[in-house]
Chain A
């Protein structure tokens, strides 16, 4: 089994707010991240695909295909967007780094043509990242 990781970057804004809670509770819980105008990050995404090496190609999967898939499914959706307002799932799910990683998993896992999705890592900043393995 070989693990192949492809890195991509996107920039987006977000804010944290749970409409089921009072404004005071939201401010207490989320602090500055509750600012309704949002704030932005340069996210770095790592997509890791696991699989056996195809003896015909020497590859787990064609990285051009993975790059194109990440571009089409993730970057087109999230890059240079205000996540809460422009990405439908984040109208009802708080776009924390945890939830962004889970959503990216859901977007990519069913669409891989070879290998299987092993890990989604999302860096919100160089000092904060989340890993999700699909369970």
Chain B
């Protein structure tokens, strides 16, 4: 079993705010992140797939296909937008990095295919850096060795 990780980048703005809470509670809970106009981050995304090496290709996954899938499913969707207003999912879900991380996992889980166009190596892990000082990891229902 080999684990292959690829790193991507996107930039977006968001606001952490829960409509069910009072303005005071939102301010207390989210602090500066509740700023009504939003604020932005340069996110760094790591996507890890796990699988056996195909003896025909020497590869776990065709990185070109992985790149185009992530581009289509994630980067085209999230790059250079205001998450709260421009992405339907985050009109009702607070776009914390935790929630963005799990949404990216859901968006990629069934979308990756291997070099022959067949089912890909298993999606193992999504790691999302909001800043160089904080990051979040999600492994679906399992756990990762990485």
Contact = CB atoms under 8 A, between A and B. Distances in A.
Given A20-B56, A98-B59, A132-B2, 13 more contacts: A31-B64, A94-B58, A101-B2, A119-B145, A127-B6, A128-B5, A128-B6, A128-B63, A129-B5, A130-B3, A130-B60, A131-B4, A135-B1
19 contacts: A29-B57, A30-B57, A31-B64, A93-B58, A95-B58, A96-B53, A96-B59, A97-B4, A98-B4, A101-B2, A102-B2, A119-B145, A129-B5, A130-B5, A131-B2, A131-B4, A132-B1, A132-B3, A135-B1
Contacts of B5: 128-131
A96 B1 contact: no
Contacts of A128: 4-7, 63
A99 interface: yes
A117 B32 CA distance: 45
Interface string B1-43: 1111111100000000000000000000000000000000000
A130 B2 contact: yes
A76 B58 CA distance: 23
Interface of B: 1-8, 53, 56-60, 62-64, 115, 145-146
Nearest to A21: B56
A93 B56 CA distance: 10
B71 to A, nearest CB: 14
Contacts of B59: 96, 98
Given A29-B57, A94-B57, A102-B53, A126 B7 contact: yes
B2 A98 contact: yes
A127 B2 contact: no
B59 to A, nearest CB: 5
A43 interface: no
Given A29-B115, A98-B53, A102-B53, A16 B6 contact: no
Contacts of B1: 132-133, 135
Interface in A95-124: 95-99, 101-102, 119
A51 B6 CA distance: 29
A35 interface: no
Nearest to B62: A29
A18 B56 contact: yes
A98 B58 contact: yes
Nearest to A99: B58
Contacts of B58: 16, 18, 93-96, 98-99
B115 to A, nearest CB: 6
Contacts of A29: 57, 62, 115
